[in-house]
């Protein structure tokens, strides 16, 4: 939660208090123990929760100060900052002036001239109501965005009360012990306590593009930021290794805090849709000004302005036209519909960070996904172990360490071969559990097991326990580690044998085809011998066989170092304190001349729901692409099981991609347009694939978890981070976070994006046809006034067919509720049966404009006919009104026109729900819409039957017959729309 309490004075106080802690000492020049003492913390235990809370209050939140939020009154006034509202305000001024002139020209006591400028008052009142509604809706949308921000709030691992816990980054306080791992964002400044192969990207702070190595040693002299190797800085990110650091500064008391000073409140960028809406309203505004000028000029030329009344009447006409054309409530409805959609998606595990992305989601044409965990369940079980002497099965499922080794058929466990196999399997799993960071813990419930770390690694721990290899692994203590990365595809450790010799051994595990190239020997039975070409071929053939059966394979190897001192190991540099300085750089020296033990085959079942989602994506014209670090055959097998490719289809490997890339973009693009499975790729290939797909005009969604995936996730149109396994850095580069890491959630989000987009089009069609109907009514009402009986032969000046206030009533009240309801319309059947929409396609395309104008014309026609029927003269003359004067006739006729227009809108609401499908399909599926129609009818009754509103809106109660006429004429809109849709459907069939 953004803490708005951090205004300048509290921020200053927090900084001063923090600085007092270290008494101006430079932590990079101070020993860890002294820094810990000054900050009153034990680096092995961390702060207590109570102490952390106290410090949080004293030092403030760990956030960069924000500019103060816009006050509410200002937000309310901002509702009026719209050119269209200016137009209406100008209209108000004109009608006040008109009222003044009218009164000044009316002799006291004579008829004419109203007591109050009703038009102006009503326009102002309605504008205020509009601003209030807009304000409320905006606040609602903001609350939705804020809730999303909460869900995606950055987190940090810290040590509290001796335990590693994840807390909101804002709650990190000076003295906290931060626990760093690959992919973490560094969220405060700190002094390193420990570091293992720690590398940090500091480009954001120092501009240095290569990640820098970090070590805890105290510096001898003060250095520039980029060279303070024992310090970590807020805003940077861990690219490799692990470490712990004492927080020395938070929030504004960090190096970025000093340069950032104050972040201006982030402006919400307008989405392309909102921009297009702005454009449409602008065009409408201009069009109406032009129409008004033309009409006024024509009237001036044809009839001439005889006196001031003519001028006033003409100006009032301009006001009505302006009011008719402006879609007042549209912007607010748009925002709220997007916000509601985003909330719905979040409830279904897809957390979209910006409203904007909802539009892009609906247009996705390719979804690139990792395999492990997204397409598969990431529930790993070792089922096979293959060693030089044979292959065994390991029984049992899940993470419960219950199962046993099953020897090949016909092999006796006590025979020489049987013993050899058992020894080799044990040795393989010993290496597998030692070169391993996974952990298996007994759960709270009996028989339940919790896993900590990478499921691939835990599966090896489980297998080792099943065959009791874990007991023999116990007496090894890890002294050094070269971590696993997706690029290296292997990991190695150096362990000391505590039981007897105290000698050191390297244990390694990794992708077998990769690890094998670092092996020169092989262990068969109890003997070690050189690895022959035949052995290599056998091992690679086994990898292929297991992979094509969907197993994930992992090789194990080791090498005794024949010494008990790290300093004597070639390749390891040890400093004066006996610590390894940078083992990662020494991997070439350590992972060499290894002895091959064997490999395991791990099964990771595909997620059952994904197959349907892939099929759904294909129907929707979206290609599903798998990009994995795993073996090409494993990848291809799982991809074909899931329907991503045909069975027997092939995967392209990272090496093949490199070869294609060297031939130029054209060759690369051709491959990416055809291939849907990529295997043994490194994260940098993901970026190339995204760029290539984008060059071909695709809208690309790309998943990622590791820190190195961030560039690809960032460049994708829709970067998707894993909520469970994703690193903080990837989450921050992503536009959407999958709370459940599931591919199906992406497809569901795309569907939701399309539904939202469809609904936006529905209410746009509805609102704009309404405005066009009003403009046509006013325009033709004036042009054809003589024919229709609106102007009588003896009347002077211009008579407006409908009053500006009546038009505003329609636009702001009776239109708004159905439009909002359409924003939550249920999805249509075809939503995932059509191709993705191009981002460059206009929201309102030519055929939709056709719809809008067609309906607008019909609406104007029925409205004017209805009015004519209640006026003497004109085409359909009703003699019964002859007795009334023209003024009274006009009031009745306007009430008719007003009501017909409102009901025509309501029939249009039903018609607008689809471009070509009949309104009667799923007529009652949206209960909100029917509620909204009910509200609109009530509002119309109110304005016609409440006497006070009669004078404000120029209405009069209608007879039953008149009501029948209104509804009958209005229904014609639905009939006309059904006819048009019928023709469209017939044409589509042809």
Nearer to ligand ATP (CB atom), residue 552 or residue 870: 552
Nearer to ligand ATP (CB atom), residue 490 or residue 981: 490
Q: Which two tokens mark 473?
A: 């692994």
Residue 814 carries which DSSP code? I
Nearer to ligand ATP (CB atom), residue 157 or residue 486: 486
> Which residues lie below 8 Å from residue 456, measured CB to CB, with a gap of 6+?
372, 380, 438, 552, 554, 602
Q: Which residues pair with 452 in a beta bridge?
A: 439
**3 state DSSP class of 736:** strand
Residue 606 carries which DSSP code? B
DSSP conformation letters of 98-155: HHHHHHHHSPTTSS-S-SS-HHHHHHHHHHHHHHHHHHHHHHHHHHHHHHHHHHT--E
Nearest approach, Cβ of residue 602 and ligand ATP (Å): 9
Residues 705 and 181: beta-carbon distance below 8 Å: no
Q: Which two tokens mark 532?
A: 């022959």
Nearer to ligand ATP (CB atom), residue 170 or residue 480: 480
Q: In angstroms, rounded to a whole number, what is the distance separating the alpha carbons of residues 298 and 289?
A: 14
Nearest approach, Cβ of residue 548 and ligand ATP (Å): 14
- Residue whose structure tokens are 């070509």: 916
Residue 810 carries which DSSP code? I
- CA of residue 908 relative to chain centroid, distance: 33
Nearest approach, Cβ of residue 375 and ligand ATP (Å): 8
Catalytic residues: 370
> Which residues lie below 8 Å from residue 775, measured CB to CB, with a gap of 6+?
288, 291, 321, 324, 325, 856
- Residues in touch with ligand ATP (CB under 6 A): 370-372, 454, 456-457, 484, 486, 489-491, 509-511, 552, 554, 628-631
Q: What angle do CA 210, 738, 1 make, to 5 degrees?
A: 80
Residue whose Cβ sits closest to ligand ATP: 629
Q: In angstroms, rounded to a whole number, what is the distance separating the alpha carbons of residues 632 and 681?
A: 10
β-pair type (552-560, 594-603) = antiparallel
Q: In angstroms, rounded to a whole number, what is the distance separating the alpha carbons of residues 327 and 281?
A: 7
Nearer to ligand ATP (CB atom), residue 102 or residue 454: 454
Nearest approach, Cβ of residue 361 and ligand ATP (Å): 22
Nearer to ligand ATP (CB atom), residue 272 or residue 643: 643
Residues 761 and 364: beta-carbon distance below 8 Å: no
Residues 337 and 759: beta-carbon distance below 8 Å: yes
Q: In angstroms, rounded to a whole number, what is the distance separating the alpha carbons of residues 433 and 436?
A: 5
Nearest approach, Cβ of residue 703 and ligand ATP (Å): 9
Nearer to ligand ATP (CB atom), residue 192 or residue 679: 679
Q: Which two tokens mark 785?
A: 């006034």
Nearest approach, Cβ of residue 604 and ligand ATP (Å): 9
Nearest approach, Cβ of residue 631 and ligand ATP (Å): 6
Nearest approach, Cβ of residue 764 and ligand ATP (Å): 41
DSSP conformation letters of 514-530: HHHTTEEEEEETTEEEE
Helices and strands (H and E) in the chain: how many:
34, 27
Nearer to ligand ATP (CB atom), residue 743 or residue 903: 743
DSSP conformation letters of 567-578: GGSTT--B-TTS
Nearer to ligand ATP (CB atom), residue 494 or residue 860: 494
> Ramachandran region of residue 748, left (φ > 0), alpha (ψ -120 to 50) or beta?
alpha
**3 state DSSP class of 679:** strand
The sign of the dihedral angle between the CA atoms of 945, 950, 953, 955 is positive
Nearer to ligand ATP (CB atom), residue 360 or residue 456: 456
Q: Which residues pair with 167 in a beta bridge?
A: 156
Q: In angstroms, rounded to a whole number, what is the distance separating the alpha carbons of residues 37 and 23?
A: 12
Nearest approach, Cβ of residue 32 and ligand ATP (Å): 30
Nearest approach, Cβ of residue 586 and ligand ATP (Å): 18
Best CA proximity match to 321, nearest among 779, 858, 767 = 779
Nearest approach, Cβ of residue 486 and ligand ATP (Å): 3
Nearer to ligand ATP (CB atom), residue 317 or residue 491: 491
β-pair type (390-394, 381-387) = antiparallel
Nearest approach, Cβ of residue 649 and ligand ATP (Å): 17
Nearer to ligand ATP (CB atom), residue 372 or residue 587: 372
Q: Which two tokens mark 142?
A: 């903001």
Q: In angstroms, rounded to a whole number, what is the distance separating the alpha carbons of residues 732 and 707?
A: 10
Nearer to ligand ATP (CB atom), residue 359 or residue 457: 457
- Residue whose structure tokens are 């010993």: 430
Q: What are phi and psi of 210, to 5 degrees?
A: -90, 130
**3 state DSSP class of 46:** coil
**3 state DSSP class of 406:** strand
Nearest approach, Cβ of residue 514 and ligand ATP (Å): 7
> Which residues lie below 8 Å from residue 678, measured CB to CB, with a gap of 6+?
625, 626, 627, 628, 635, 651, 652, 653, 654, 657, 685, 689
Q: In angstroms, rounded to a whole number, what is the distance separating the alpha carbons of residues 81 and 440?
A: 60
């Amino acid at each position: 939660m953004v803490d708005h309490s951090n205004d300048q004075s509290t921020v200053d106080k927090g900084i001063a208090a923090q600085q007092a802690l270290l008494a101006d000492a430079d932590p990079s020049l101070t020993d860890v123990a002294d820094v810990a003492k000054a900050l009153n913390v034990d680096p092995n235990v961390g702060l207590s929760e109570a102490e952390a809370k106290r410090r949080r209050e004293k030092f403030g939140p760990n956030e960069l100060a924000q500019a103060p939020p816009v006050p509410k009154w200002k937000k309310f006034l901002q509702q009026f900052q719209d050119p269209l509202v200016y137009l209406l305000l100008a209209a108000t001024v004109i009608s006040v002036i008109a009222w003044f002139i009218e009164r000044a020209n009316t002799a006291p006591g004579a008829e004419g001239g109203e007591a109050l400028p009703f038009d102006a008052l009503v326009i102002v009142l309605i504008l205020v109501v509009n601003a209030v509604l807009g304000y409320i809706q905006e606040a609602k949308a903001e609350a939705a965005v804020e809730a999303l921000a909460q869900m995606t709030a950055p987190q940090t691992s810290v040590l509290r009360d001796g335990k590693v816990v994840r807390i909101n980054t804002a709650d990190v306080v000076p003295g906290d012990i931060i626990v760093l791992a690959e992919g973490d964002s560094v969220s405060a400044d700190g002094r390193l306590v420990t570091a293992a192969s720690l590398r940090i990207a500091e480009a954001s702070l120092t501009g240095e593009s290569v990640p820098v190595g970090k070590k805890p040693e105290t510096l001898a002299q003060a250095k520039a930021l980029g060279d303070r190797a024992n310090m970590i800085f807020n805003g940077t990110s861990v690219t490799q290794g692990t470490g712990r650091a004492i927080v020395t500064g938070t929030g504004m008391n960090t190096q970025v805090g000093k340069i950032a000073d104050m972040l201006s409140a982030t402006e919400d960028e307008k989405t392309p849709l909102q921009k297009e809406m702005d454009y449409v309203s602008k065009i409408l505004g201009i069009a109406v000004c032009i129409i008004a000028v033309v009409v006024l000029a024509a009237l001036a030329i044809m009839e001439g302005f005889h006196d001031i009344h003519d001028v006033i009447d003409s100006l009032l006409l301009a006001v009505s036209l302006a009011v008719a054309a402006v879609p007042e409530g549209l912007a607010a409805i748009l925002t709220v519909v997007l916000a509601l959609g985003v909330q719905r998606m979040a409830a279904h595990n897809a957390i979209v960070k910006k409203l904007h992305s909802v539009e892009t989601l609906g247009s996705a044409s390719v979804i690139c996904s990792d395999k492990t965990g997204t397409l598969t369940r990431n529930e790993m079980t070792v089922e096979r172990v293959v060693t030089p002497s044979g292959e065994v099965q390991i029984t049992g499922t899940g993470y419960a360490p219950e199962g046993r080794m099953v020897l090949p058929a016909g092999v006796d466990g006590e025979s020489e071969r049987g013993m050899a196999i058992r020894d080799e399997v044990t040795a393989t799993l010993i290496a597998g559990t030692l070169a391993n960071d996974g952990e298996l813990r007994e759960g709270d419930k009996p028989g339940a097991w919790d896993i900590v770390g990478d499921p691939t690694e835990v599966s090896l721990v489980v297998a080792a326990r099943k065959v009791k290899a874990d007991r023999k692994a116990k007496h090894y203590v890890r002294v050094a580690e070269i971590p696993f990365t997706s690029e290296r595809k292997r990991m190695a450790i150096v362990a000391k044998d505590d039981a007897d010799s105290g000698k050191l051994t390297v244990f390694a595990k990794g992708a077998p085809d990769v690890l094998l190239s670092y092996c020169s020997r092989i262990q068969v039975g109890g003997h070690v011998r050189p690895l022959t070409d035949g052995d290599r071929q056998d091992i690679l053939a086994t990898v292929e066989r297991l992979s094509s059966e969907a197993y994930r394979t992992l090789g194990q190897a080791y090498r005794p170092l024949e010494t008990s001192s790290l300093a004597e190991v070639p390749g390891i540099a040890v400093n004066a304190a006996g610590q390894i300085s940078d083992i990662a750089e020494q991997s070439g020296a350590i992972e060499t001349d290894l002895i091959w033990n064997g490999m395991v085959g791990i099964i990771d079942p595909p997620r059952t729901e994904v197959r349907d989602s892939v099929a759904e994506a294909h129907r929707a014209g979206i290609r599903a692409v798998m990009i994995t670090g795993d073996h090409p055959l494993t990848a291809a097998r799982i991809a074909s099981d899931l329907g991503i490719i045909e069975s027997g289809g092939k995967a392209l490997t990272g090496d093949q991609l490199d070869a294609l890339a060297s031939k130029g973009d054209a060759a690369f693009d051709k491959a990416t347009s055809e291939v849907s499975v990529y295997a043994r790729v490194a994260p940098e290939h993901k970026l190339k694939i995204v760029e290539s797909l984008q060059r071909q005009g695709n809208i690309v969604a790309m998943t990622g978890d590791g820190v190195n995936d961030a560039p690809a996730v960032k460049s994708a149109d829709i970067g998707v981070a894993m909520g469970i396994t994703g690193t903080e850095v990837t989450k921050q580069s992503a536009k959407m976070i999958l709370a459940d890491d599931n591919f199906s959630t992406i497809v569901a989000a795309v569907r939701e994006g399309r539904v939202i987009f469809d609904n936006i089009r529905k209410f746009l069609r509805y609102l704009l046809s309404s405005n066009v109907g009003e403009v046509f009514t006013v325009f033709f009402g004036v042009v054809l006034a003589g024919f229709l009986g609106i102007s009588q032969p003896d009347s002077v000046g211009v008579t407006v067919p409908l009053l500006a206030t009546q038009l505003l009533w329609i636009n702001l009240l009776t239109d708004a509720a159905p439009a909002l309801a359409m924003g939550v319309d249920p999805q249509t059947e075809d939503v995932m049966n059509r191709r993705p929409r191009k981002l460059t396609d206009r929201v309102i395309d030519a055929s939709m404009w056709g719809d809008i104008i067609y309906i607008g014309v019909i609406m104007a026609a029925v409205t004017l006919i209805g009015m004519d029927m209640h006026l003497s003269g004109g085409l359909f003359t009703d003699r019964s009104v002859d007795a009334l004067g023209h003024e009274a006739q006009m009031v009745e006729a306007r009430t008719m026109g007003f009501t017909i227009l409102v009901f025509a809108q309501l029939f249009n609401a039903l018609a607008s729900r689809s471009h070509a499908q009949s309104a009667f399909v799923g007529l009652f599926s949206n209960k909100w819409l029917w509620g909204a129609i009910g509200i609109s009818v009530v509002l119309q009754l109110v304005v016609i039957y409440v006497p006070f509103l009669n004078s404000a809106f120029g209405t009069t109660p209608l007879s039953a017959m008149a009501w029948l006429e209104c509804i009958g004429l209005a229904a014609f809109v639905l009939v006309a729309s059904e006819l048009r849709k019928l023709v469209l459907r017939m044409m589509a069939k042809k």
